[in-house]
Amino acid sequence: MVEARAAERYKQDKEVYGQRMEKRDRHEEKTGKKPRGKAPEPPSETPKESDQYNFTDPESRIMKTSRGFDQCYNAQAAVNEDMLVVGAHSNAHVNDKQEFIPAVASVDPELGVIKTATADGGYFSGNNVLKIQGQGIEPIIATSREKHNSFPETYIERQETVNECVPIAIGTVIEQMNQRLKSKEGGDIYKKRKQTVEPVFGIIKGTLGFRRFLLRGEQQTDGEWSLVCLAYNLKRLFKLSIA
C-alpha cells in the first residue's frame, strides 16, 4: 500500500516537475538568462521515510484536522441554494484540489443545469478553472486561504499558484478569478457559499452528531457518507416543508 501511494504521488509530482522545468527552459530560451531561484528537485519514485501504513484501515490517510493529525477520509458535498446536498462522495485524497471536478460531477444531471460552482481556496487551481469552464459552468473559487499573521506563507502559496497558471489572452487564470471575486456580482455569489455549504457540515457534525466514520475502506466509507447526507437531506426537506 505504501509503495502504491508513492507511485501515485510520483505520477502527480512528475507532471508538476515537468511543467516547472518546461517553464524554466522557455524563460531561458526567451531571455538568454537562467531563471532566478533554485531549480526544482526531481521527484522520487520510492516511498518517503515519513510515509506510514495503518493496519486497521490501510486505505485511510493521515490528514490535518482541528485536533492535529489523524487517520481520515476526505468527505465532500455539493450543496445547492436550498442547503440540500445534491452530490456527495468521499475518498482518501489529502488535497482538496483533486476533489472540485469530482464534486461537480457527483451532481445528478436530472437535478438541472449547473450554471455556477463556488468553492474555497483549497480547491483552486488553474486546471480546475479551465476544466469547469469547458463544461459551460462558471467557477467562483477563492484563490487562497487567508490566515491571520501568515503573510509570508500566503504570499508564497499565491505566487506559486500564479506561476503554475496557464497563460490566456486577458491574463492568467488567477488574475481573472481575483477580478471576478472583487466584482459585486462575483462577491455576492461567493458569499452565498458560507451561507449554504458551511452550515450543512456544521449541522451534520453538531446536530446529527456525525464526526467520524464507523466503517473502514474507501468504498464502505463512501457509502456511509452518502447515508449521512441522505439523513441530513430528510431533515432539511422537513424543515423546508413547514417553512
> What is the mean pLDDT of the segment spanning 91-98?
86
86 pLDDT more than 90:
yes
Euclidean distance between CA atoms 50 and 52, whole angstroms: 6
pLDDT at 160 over 70: no
Asked if pLDDT for residue 217 goes beyond 60, the answer is yes
C-alpha cell at 110: 436530472
Between 54 and 127, the more confident residue is 127
Whether residue 5 contacts residue 47, with contact meaning beta carbons closer than 8 Å, is answered with yes
pLDDT at 2 over 70: no
3-state secondary structure the chain: CHHHHHHHHHHHHHHHHHHHHHHHHHHHHHHCCCCCCCCCCCCCCCCCCCCCCCCCCCCCEEEEECCEEEEECEEEEEECCCCCEEEEEEECCCCHHHHHHHHHHCCCHHHCCCCEEEECHHHCCHHHHHHHHHCCCEEEECCCCCCCCCHHHHHHHHHHHHHHCCEECCEEHHHHHHHHHHCHHHHHHHHHHHHHHHHHHHHHHHCCCCCCCCCCCHHHHHHHHHHHHHHHHHHHHHHHHHC
Is 153 a residue whose pLDDT tops 50? no
> What is the pLDDT, as a whole number, of residue 150?
35
Cα–Cα dist 151/69, whole Å: 24
Domain positions in the chain: 2-46, 70-242
pLDDT of residue 48: 60
pLDDT at position 51, please?
Answer: 58
- Residue 11's alpha-carbon distances to 4, 46, 100, 124, 203, in angstroms, are 11, 12, 20, 20, 37
Q: Which three cell numbers stand for residue 16?
A: 508538476
Written as nine digits, the cell of 132 is 469547469
For residues 20-27, give the mean pLDDT: 82
The confidence band for 6, taking pLDDT boundaries of 50, 70 and 90, is: low
